[in-house]
Amino acid sequence: MPPEPFFAGPGIDRADALRNRPEQVAALLAKPEARALVWNSGVPALDSTGGLLWTKAAGDEPLFLGLDNQQPRFASLPPTAAGAEARAILAQLNLTDAPLFAAALSLSSWHLRHGFCAVCGSPSAIFRGGWARRCDACNAEHYPRVDPVVIMLATFEDRLLLGRQPQYPPGRYSALAGFVEPGETIEAAVARELNEEAGINVSHVRYIASQPWPFPSSLMIGCTAVATGDALIIDHDELDDARWFTHDQVITALAGGPAAPFLPPPPFAIARTLLDGWIADA
């Protein structure tokens, strides 16, 4: 079985067919059982169990998130955007509500940065139950972004390559990653990023698992690849460092404690899922 990353799972019924029926969405919003997401500094607020916190809908929430066992779920736009510190809350978030947390956060972040039509510069307005914006001036429609990112473990014999981004906490090493560009397959993006950031060439790119990452709206596509050599040329514009770690070093790091050769990525990151999977398979 492939590993199951955090943020995986179906979440609630998105009820896509209703989004194009504004009168039905309005009727759902007017129901006494309709609930609205509570925001806290631009991110969904959590209750003491790590679940999403809800309140009775006021009736003016423009984002229709879906149906949770027939109970309509809505959100307003938060008054402020989430800051970089927002991801610390993931350590409290529970698995069941994680997909809906990610959807609500990405969707609201997109609206906050897309109030104007990119085609003509006029103000745009929310439609399709919050899952699109339309420009009345030029009739352009705009849809929320989902930005595919490849994140990968390159291996060479019994070692794998991890790197340090400048903003990481001290000691952290994790999988290298980068945005998929127009005109690329997933496999080509993995090969290009590893070559750009670490100077290695790879073959045998293999998809492992995926994960939404709502900061603001990435789709992390986790892969492995086999390097043709271990000589590194590190791009210091992107990385503080990159190095090869042995299987034993990775096991020791995942176990934690003072002997750990590096601080691994946290359990809610797909990089950790990839590391756990590599150890389980090796």
- Does residue number 137 form part of the binding site for a copy of itself (CB under 8 A)? no
Q: Are 278 and 224 contacting, i.e. CB atoms less than 8 angstroms apart?
A: yes
Q: At what angle do helices 247-255 and 270-281 cross, to 10 degrees?
A: 130
- Does residue number 127 form part of the binding site for a copy of itself (CB under 8 A)? no
With respect to a copy of itself, which residue has the nearer C-beta, 116 or 156?
116
Among 99, 129, 163, 264, contact with a copy of itself (rule: CB under 8 A): 99
- Does residue number 209 form part of the binding site for a copy of itself (CB under 8 A)? yes
- Does residue number 184 form part of the binding site for a copy of itself (CB under 8 A)? yes
Tokens of 104: 């609500």
DSSP, residue by residue, 172-198? B-B-EEEEPPTT--HHHHHHHHHHHHH
With respect to a copy of itself, which residue has the nearer C-beta, 155 or 249?
155
Helix (H) or strand (E) holding 277, with range, is helix 270-281
- Does residue number 100 form part of the binding site for a copy of itself (CB under 8 A)? yes
Q: What phi, psi does 194 have (nearest 5°)?
A: -65, -35
Strand 35-37 relative to strand 71-75, pairing: parallel
Query: How many Cβ atoms from other residues are within 10 Å of residue 111's Cβ?
Result: 18
- Does residue number 196 form part of the binding site for a copy of itself (CB under 8 A)? yes
3-state secondary structure of 213: strand
Which range of residues in 28-36, 47-55, 83-91, 183-191 is near a copy of itself by CB under 8 A?
183-191
Q: Smallest distance, Å, CB 34 to a copy of itself?
A: 20
Residues forming contacts to a copy of itself in the complex (CB under 8 A) are 5, 7-11, 14, 16-17, 20, 99-107, 110, 113-123, 131, 140, 142-148, 179-188, 191-192, 196, 207, 209-212, 214, 217, 219, 221, 235, 237
